[in-house]
Amino acid sequence: MDELSRRKVLMTGGTLGAVGALSMASPAGARSLWSWSPASSIAGKGAGVDPQWLWDEEADPVLAAVLDRGDVAKVNEVLRQWTRNDQPLPDGLPRDLREFMEHASLLPSWADRAELDRGAQFSKTKGIYVGALYGLGSGLMSTAIPREARAVYYSKGGADMKDRIAKTARLGYDIGDLDAYQPQGSMIVTAVKTRMVHAAVRHLLPQSPAWVRNSGGQKIPISQADILVTWHSLATLVMRKLKEWRVRVSDGDADAYLHVWQVTANMLGVREEYIPATWQAADAQSKQVLDPILAATTEGKALTKVLLDIVAELDAGLTRPLISAFSRYTLGDRVGDMIGLSKEPVLTPLVAGAWPLLVAFREKLIPLPGIPGIMWTLEEAIRKFVLLFLAEARLPISIDIPDMNRLS
């Protein structure tokens, strides 16, 4: 069977028996066989096919055609004009790409505008926690996700890690913006462009000898399962940590925040039968697809270094050690060791003891406690990091379709 025929079989799901056999055979399949029930999804039903063998049958053939025709430079130039949700698609797009984008830009029928607005307001209200967790929690955790780290490292964006991180910040900024899904916002634009980038990477990376050698057996990158893994490293991690830190979150705000991420998953091309309907369902899915697959990779450690180099730009002195201690406290020593965070035997237990007090004070649960002064230094470092994270996103960042893989 040639690669094109094999790809078609996998993208249509194949048979359940074949999927099971492939899952058992794959060296990259560290998690157990897929058992999460589609009854727990927003669709409430589904075939139950393992999402690691499904990709994006709508976007993939269109972007492959754009690449094969040599249209990428022209398309990127046209797409730089498209920056707001309420803008019509610009003239000059190839017909097949325009038709895909017209459909991909539509919110799902079940999207609730009021819930989206409430979720955005929640992200703003809890901004220092959410921003820190996006950047210093999920941002660093992503470097311990082998498939994600390798896909980033060997794609075109891997040659300029800071630019790649800035584009990731664009997604975090847009999804947390008060206008995210409003006409004047940018989240629809960002989601559709990101979906197209994913499709282009799926076409390009299998042509990279370096990625093929180091992919852990994966033949096509960024499966539905891979997108879900990233989704949980963001949304589910944030909600877990907010609860663990005893941040006050009402049931209504939690549901609204989940709804923002449910809509975003749909806009990124995830099938409804895989999008969790509740936080309980999300937590169960995360325990199957994210928690077991975290591991150290050379590529992940390189990404970690870039992130920490950005942190080092904030301040001299205690900033980098404090951030490493905070990330170890947030992600745990297991993940900290995987990605090469420095060990901070003094600062890490200090953060673990004092951060809950600082959160309780910020949440007005306790009066000003005797928090060590270094914690205010940490809060300031985190605040600066969040501002830098958001500032990167506010720059004129263009999410361009790649036309090649990393050269070196």
Q: Would you say residue 3 lies in a domain?
A: no
pLDDT value at 398 more than 60:
yes
Q: Would you say residue 366 lies in a domain?
A: yes
CA distance 375 to 381: 10
In the three-class reduction of DSSP (H, G, I as helix; E, B as strand; rest coil), residue 327 is classed as helix
Q: Would you say residue 280 lies in a domain?
A: yes
Is 263 buried (19+), middle (13-18) or exposed (0-12) by CB count in 10 A?
buried
Please state the pTM of the whole predicted model. 0.88
Q: What is the pLDDT of residues 114-167, one digit of tens each?
A: 999 999 999 888 988 988 898 888 888 999 999 999 999 999 877 776 666 666
Q: What is the pLDDT of residues 248-284, one digit of tens each?
A: 999 999 999 999 999 999 999 999 999 999 999 999 9
Q: Would you say residue 33 lies in a domain?
A: no
Q: Would you say residue 11 lies in a domain?
A: no
Q: Would you say residue 408 lies in a domain?
A: no
The candidate with the shortest Cα–Cα distance to 403, out of 151, 205, 148, is 205
**Based on the structure, what is the number of domains in the chain?**
1
Q: Would you say residue 310 lies in a domain?
A: yes
- Judged by average pLDDT, the poorest of 50-54, 323-327, 401-405 is 323-327
Answer whether 297's CB lies under 8 Å from 339's CB. no
* Averaged pLDDT score across all residues of the chain: 86
Q: Would you say residue 16 lies in a domain?
A: no
* Containing structural domain, residue 363: 49-399
Computed from CA positions of residues 73, 60, 392, 89, in that sequence, does the dihedral angle turn out positive or negative? positive
